[in-house]
Structure 1
Amino acid sequence: MGLSLPVPVVTIGLLIASNVFMTIAWYGHLKFKTAPLLTVILISWGIALFEYMMQVPANRIGHGYFNAAQLKTIQEVISLSVFAIFSWLYLGEKLSWQHGAGFALICLGAWFVFHDWG
């Protein structure tokens, strides 16, 4: 007796998890500027492997329910959301009204991607 989750839940859940790994791989090293670049690259590559292990299945599972443009739009909105939280909590960077306004415009763009104009 298996638990079957809806395709959007699985897809979005995997995309969130993959973006957490991606953000750590791409930006986590910024607190370790004295670490050798090759070391940072290899560690980041290892972390990114887990991102790919979630991103690829998310796209494969989600495609058909979502079209490719919708999948990419979901991924970008998640990526920016995860990054905003990461930069605020981990890097200690402030988020300003400009960030909020820019994100709102991106969300408006996402709405257009998902709206069926007939």
Structure 2
Amino acid sequence: MPISFSPAAIWPIIMLFASNIFMTFAWYGHLKHKGTAIWIAIVVSWAIAFFEYCLAVPANRMGSEVYSTAQLKTMQEVITLLVFSGFSVFWLGENLTWNHAIGFALIAIGASFIFRG
């Protein structure tokens, strides 16, 4: 498939990046605040996840004009790894090792096959 620069090809990628930021904070942000009651972490996580859905659902709907469902899901997973990597380092203060880099690279290589004609 030739590269398309139409709004239906570009906006879903941007929206999926944004939704993944919300998703990552919803799922893992509370780990920086383990002293907070679990019920508060759950409520805050659900509130954050609302915004993730407000971006992910229209991104997938719009993206389906250009990409297959498998391509959208694969894109989502690769974006998740990129966002999560930055989140781990900058929010949680964790280090990424060569093992992480190699594992993520192998996943990205596998994902590239989904986009081959």
Q: TM-score range by the shorter chain?
A: over 0.9
TM-score (norm 1): 0.92
Alignment-mate amino acid for residue 56 of structure 1:
V
Query: Which residue is 2:26 aligned to?
Result: 25
Distance 2:9 2:62 in 1: 9
Query: Identity of paired residues, percent?
Result: 54
Unaligned runs of at least 5 residues, structure 2: 1-5
CA distance in 1 between counterparts of 2:62 and 2:103 reads 30
**C-alpha contact (below 8 Å) 2:8/2:65 kept by paired residues:** no
Per the normalisation by structure 2, the TM-score is 0.93
Q: In the alignment, what sits opposite 2:3?
A: none
Output the CA distance in 2 between the equivalents of 1:18 and 1:61.
Answer: 14
Return structure 1 stretches of 4+ with deviation > 2 angstroms. Answer: none
Write out per-residue CA displacement over residues 13-41 of structure 1, whole angstroms, 9 at most, x where no aligned residue: 00000000000011110011111101110
Match of residue 14 from structure 1 = 15
Aligned length: 112
Residue matched to 1:80: 81
Instruction: Return the letter of the residue paired with 1:87.
Output: S
CA distance in 1, matches of 2:94, 2:34: 16
Encode CA deviations 1:30-89: one digit per residue, 9 max, x unaligned.
011111101110000000000000000000000031000000000000001000000001
Residue identity in the other structure for 1:76: E
- Report the Cα offset of residue 103 of structure 1: 0.9
Q: Name the residue aligned to 1:53.
A: 54
* RMSD, aligned CA: 0.8
Shift of 1:110: 1.0
Q: Say whether the 8 Å CA contact 2:24–2:84 is kept in structure 1.
A: yes
C-alpha distance in 2 between matches for 1:10 and 1:60: 11
